[in-house]
Structure 1
Amino acid sequence: MITTPEKTNYQETSTYADVMAFIDVAIAGEDAARLISMGKSVDGKDIPVVVLASPMVNSAEEAKASGKPIIYIQGNIHSGEVEGKEALQVLLREILKGDKKHLLDNQILLFAPIYSADSNDKMEQGRRPSQEDSPVETGIRPNSQGWDLNRDGIKMDAIETKALIQNIIVPWDPALFVDLHTTNGVWHGYSLTWAPSYHTAGQKAPYDYTWDKILPEVTDKVLEKDDVHLGPYGYFYTRREGWPIKSIYTYNHHPRYLVNQFGLRNRMAILSEAFAHERLYQRMNSTYAFVREILEFTNKNGQEMLRINAEAEQAAIDDVISDAGKVQKGVRFEMVPTDEPVDNYRIYNYLETTNEKGQTTYLRKPEIITLKDVVNYSAFKPTTSATLPRGYVIPQELTHIVEHLKMHGVTVETLTKNARATGEEYTATALNKSSRPFEQHNMATIEGSFSAAKKRFKKGDYYVDLAQPLANLIFYMLEPESDDGLVTWNFFDEYFQQAGLEEKPVAYPIFKYFELN
């Protein structure tokens, strides 16, 4: 019941075998805990998920029927960022053997401490220089197939992503998803920074609740109980803005990031980023405190969270029913400031100086100061929009698109007779592919335009009625000009090549309908 860092004076992090042995001991003889496998990794390791519930539930169906919120928390999506893996083991110990049993009164918890199971054990020194070899050795960032698991939420190339979406996210339907990371090295003044799920084309209410209520309350509680400072996630650039800085900037909005995808699923999510420059024991402490207070909050407010999520889901469906063909929704976005700046932003102080070339440069000083009214670029506004349809028709030969949508939990139906559709057809004039691979994809950007159209479809073709819970995610994936949709991730490259797009305009094969009969 002692973690590897605790045994080694925080010089080492847990191996896969260490985590599995810890889980086995922790849950032995406990009615409130059981171990399930999310799926197997490429190297054949079971990806462990500990189910914590009182009374215990034996399936996702039982969990949802209980009426309790399900909270999913994962560590080790990037194997060099180890404190989430360790903090979840400590929390497991305290819930089952210590003084945190009450956290199971009103919720069901799913802990996945070692999501990237294979890469965890491929340890070497110097992989995370900003962590200053604390621990001495860590695993590698990509999974065994070479993919970054936190860029895989839409394309689902990785075996781990398929397992997570199909075996956890879709059947268990967590009300809140928490993803535990470490920053890559920005010198802000917080022990941990956080971000909500950026909703973009989704419903705003789950984001608002996370941003306005969960994160402020949790931040205050951690400061009060642990004297640990938490704050908003963001990078800053002294070279661009000089000193003092004027702005901070979050990461982008794409649903390829798992936290962001939850905004399109009408659910809440939180990104946790421990401060890389602190020692491992400090990063474990801040991550532990953050997750502990999140669970205190969800245990107290879970029913309100379920209500907000359900209302957002119904609003997404109602929008389709009432406004299909009438309103525009964003498909490409740019980062903009939030309405309110960050007051009292904590940051290491800097000294302005001149180098040997006479250039102004900045040296970081040891003390932390606070800056007033720092502009927070953590919002997004659409730069390109598309008409919200009632649904989409997919030709029967595009079975790979249909199967991919189903893996995400989308309901796809088959036409039982010939049908006529009225809506919009997109005519592509070019498909521009990046010359530099990203995540083993030469990402694509389409050019073209929509026009009003009527089309006939055959029995056996597929259709997606957008009046369903995942309406916003479907819209983002299937709209051709989306900045993180299936066109972007090369799902239609072969179709456009065979159709001769290089020589002539070609219709995008998925028809956007307003009426289908």
Structure 2
Amino acid sequence: MRLFYLLILSCFAFSVTAQDLPKALLTTPELSNYEKTSSYADVMAFIDAVSKGSNKVTRISMGKSLEGKDIPVLVLANPKVSTPAEAKASGKPIIYIQGNIHSGEVEGKEAVQVMLREILHGDKGYLLDNQIILFAPIYNTDSNDKMEAGRRPSQEDSPKEVGIRENSQGWDLNRDGIKQEALETNGLIQNIIVPWDPALFVDLHTTNGVWHGYSLTWAPSYHTAGEKAPYDFTWDRILPEVTSQVKKKDEIHLGPYGYFYPQREGWPIKSISTYNHHPRYLVNQFGLRNRMAILSEAFAHERLYQRINSTYVFIREILEFTNKNGKEMLKVNAQAEAAAIQLVKEQGGKVSKGVRFEMTPLEEKIPAYRAYNYLVYDETEGNRPGKRYLRKPEIVELPDVVNYSAFTPTVTAILPKGYIIPAEFANIAEHLMKNGVKVTKLEKNVRATGQAYKATKLALAQRPFEKHNMATIEGAFESTTKKFGKGDYWVDLAQPLANLIFYMLEPESDDGLVTWNFFDEYFQKNGIDQKAVEYPVFKYFELK
């Protein structure tokens, strides 16, 4: 028996070998015993060091921040590519992974650096056999260096000092997907998403404190008005396999993203709820772009080294999956794109799609949901007697937990053949075009038969959100025929971004351009408080 254990130990000793690395290829957490996170200068120095001498990496720029910092993106490919045209000519899927959208959530920034090192200088070079990878380790460059202690108390002071959530313009970059006011968002959309067209978008975060029992939780892109196939592939294929492989290789538990509140529901809980479906969240916007996306949320209450590791192994297994299945992913995305176009061509003016949604449960329950256990007791003293919940140290598995992560339409609108935007609303046309939408200026008069929306009320929220008093419109569509002339903008909806266009332009959309105040001035100028005002964007079913 003693000989048996010696053999086991001998095998383990041979399987775990130290990497002999130059100091320049070590990250700030590694050098600080995981007490510090990387500054912007640290990341840029690491990028320079990891890229030096490699024939598999090209550094490009997403753009510059308000403070003039370059937002680096590393293009990894074998053979090397430098442009979107070269990447598309390769026929390989493009995978985009970003960290540091919220600068206090540092794990993605650090894990991406480690992954860069392992691909370019370690044993993960084979991950470039069948795919092209774009890494953006430090998306929110300015706010990363505004470090102070106490910013993220749920992270157990590990690290003690982190940056701030908003960018230097004061925007939450993960609420900017529709209004696109941040410099970073515009750089991402115009310089990366539109030209490079990634098949999969991965956004790396850290939770804000829920005591579930997973080292990392995930969510797909919630498709809402988009095509369902990319969501299904992500939910049914990518996430289960990645979760299984991480458990098998690393003994790390991953699970579905969700919040729960014992104080509301009692203990044990019966359900979890995900976040909103809105495409203001970048991951969700990809469902409207007929592409796949994954949200990653490291568990805040673990130590920094654990959170970096769980994020790293999640990235690793995603790339293992995409390296093996990328061609199939491209096929699924292409079929979704074709389906969106075909629906407009065949059913435009006849079929309706959702524009407002409510969160509803999935049919399938979570059979064994991991969470920290709670001790329940009755408080009889004081002004607020009742149940109290104290977290216990052990993790338990709760049976048959309902997962509120589906979205059911509460308001629908007819999908048109397209839209006509009057010439004076050039800003709307430009907003669509920067997202990759094809918009054409009319060269002659046309007659458009379809629907005009008569707004009877425009209510603005009393409390600002992202510096906006969000708008909610009321009214009704009326069938009519209208004339439009030279200089007006024509948007034929039979194009790849049909669902994104629809969600942005429909007046009653819960996250469209009306919601984000793009039309407030027009409605107020035309007296919406006293009379019905016609929404200026016309949806047509027939054009002559």
Work out whether the TM-score is over 0.5.
yes
Pairing partner for 1:234 from 258, 283, 290: 258
Which residue pairs with 2:319 in the alignment?
Answer: 295
- Does the CA contact (< 8 Å) of 2:56 and 2:76 recur in 1? yes
| Alpha-carbon distance in 2 for matches of 1:134, 1:67 | 42
Pairing partner for 1:378 from 405, 421, 446: 405
| Alpha-carbon distance in 2 for matches of 1:187, 1:383 | 32
| Alpha-carbon distance in 1 for matches of 2:193, 2:242 | 24
Which residue pairs with 2:425 in the alignment?
Answer: 398
| Alpha-carbon distance in 2 for matches of 1:153, 1:64 | 25
| Alpha-carbon distance in 2 for matches of 1:399, 1:325 | 25
Give the 3-state SS of the residue equivalent to 1:350 in structure 2.
Answer: strand
1:127 aligns with 2:151: yes
For structure 2, the 5+ residue unaligned runs are: 1-24
Which string of whole-angstrom CA distances, capped at 9 and with x for unpartnered residues, describes residues 475-513 of structure 1?
000000000000000000111111111111010000000
Pairing partner for 1:10 from 27, 34, 50: 34
| Alpha-carbon distance in 1 for matches of 2:426, 2:349 | 26
Counterpart of 1:121, as a letter, is D
1:83 aligns with 2:107: yes
Which string of whole-angstrom CA distances, capped at 9 and with x for unpartnered residues, describes residues 326-372 of structure 1?
11100000000011010110000001112333311110000000011
Which residue pairs with 2:293 in the alignment?
Answer: 269
Counterpart of 2:373, as a letter, is N
Give the 3-state SS of the residue equivalent to 1:474 in structure 2.
Answer: helix
1:427 aligns with 2:454: yes
1:314 aligns with 2:314: no
| Alpha-carbon distance in 2 for matches of 1:57, 1:101 | 15
1:99 aligns with 2:109: no
Which runs of structure 1 show a deviation greater than 3 angstroms over 4 or more consecutive aligned residues?
none
Counterpart of 2:162, as a letter, is T
| Alpha-carbon distance in 2 for matches of 1:132, 1:344 | 27
| Alpha-carbon distance in 2 for matches of 1:451, 1:21 | 60
Give the 3-state SS of the residue equivalent to 1:480 in structure 2.
Answer: coil
1:488 aligns with 2:515: yes
Q: Report the CA distance between 1:84 and its aligned residue.
A: 0.3
| Alpha-carbon distance in 2 for matches of 1:213, 1:496 | 46
Which string of whole-angstrom CA distances, capped at 9 and with x for unpartnered residues, describes residues 286-317 of structure 1?
00000000000000000000000000000000
Which residue pairs with 1:497 in the alignment?
Answer: 524
| Alpha-carbon distance in 2 for matches of 1:464, 1:63 | 28
Pairing partner for 1:407 from 417, 430, 434: 434
Q: Report the CA distance between 1:198 and its aligned residue.
A: 0.1
1:109 aligns with 2:137: no
1:73 aligns with 2:97: yes
| Alpha-carbon distance in 2 for matches of 1:329, 1:253 | 15
Which residue pairs with 1:473 in the alignment?
Answer: 500
1:453 aligns with 2:453: no
Which residue pairs with 1:280 in the alignment?
Answer: 304
Counterpart of 2:229, as a letter, is A
Pairing partner for 1:197 from 213, 221, 226: 221
What CA RMSD, in Å, does the superposition of the two structures yield over aligned residues? 0.5
| Alpha-carbon distance in 1 for matches of 2:431, 2:59 | 28
Which string of whole-angstrom CA distances, capped at 9 and with x for unpartnered residues, describes residues 115-137 of structure 1?
00000000000000100110010
Pairing partner for 2:276 from 229, 252, 265: 252
| Alpha-carbon distance in 2 for matches of 1:183, 1:64 | 35
| Alpha-carbon distance in 2 for matches of 1:129, 1:354 | 28
| Alpha-carbon distance in 2 for matches of 1:440, 1:4 | 35
Q: Report the CA distance between 1:239 and its aligned residue.
A: 1.4
| Alpha-carbon distance in 1 for matches of 2:378, 2:308 | 38
Counterpart of 2:205, as a letter, is H
| Alpha-carbon distance in 2 for matches of 1:103, 1:42 | 35
Q: Report the CA distance between 1:407 and its aligned residue.
A: 1.0
Give the 3-state SS of the residue equivalent to 2:423 in structure 1.
Answer: coil
Give the 3-state SS of the residue equivalent to 1:416 in structure 2.
Answer: coil
| Alpha-carbon distance in 2 for matches of 1:75, 1:33 | 18
| Alpha-carbon distance in 2 for matches of 1:88, 1:244 | 37
| Alpha-carbon distance in 2 for matches of 1:398, 1:34 | 39
Which string of whole-angstrom CA distances, capped at 9 and with x for unpartnered residues, describes residues 156-193 of structure 1?
01000000000000000000000000000000000000
Give the 3-state SS of the residue equivalent to 2:367 in structure 1.
Answer: coil
Give the 3-state SS of the residue equivalent to 2:500 in structure 1.
Answer: helix
Counterpart of 2:441, as a letter, is T
1:439 aligns with 2:463: no
Q: Report the CA distance between 1:325 and its aligned residue.
A: 0.8
For structure 1, the 5+ residue unaligned runs are: none
Counterpart of 1:437, as a letter, is P
Matches for 1:147-186 after TM superposition, within 5 Å = 147-186=171-210
- Does the CA contact (< 8 Å) of 2:58 and 2:81 recur in 1? no
| Alpha-carbon distance in 1 for matches of 2:142, 2:473 | 36
1:187 aligns with 2:211: yes
Q: Which of 1 and 2 has greater Rg?
A: 2
1:45 aligns with 2:82: no
| Alpha-carbon distance in 2 for matches of 1:35, 1:334 | 42
| Alpha-carbon distance in 2 for matches of 1:241, 1:145 | 39
| Alpha-carbon distance in 2 for matches of 1:469, 1:61 | 18
Which string of whole-angstrom CA distances, capped at 9 and with x for unpartnered residues, describes residues 414-461 of structure 1?
111011000001000010000111001010000100011100111111
| Alpha-carbon distance in 2 for matches of 1:71, 1:121 | 27
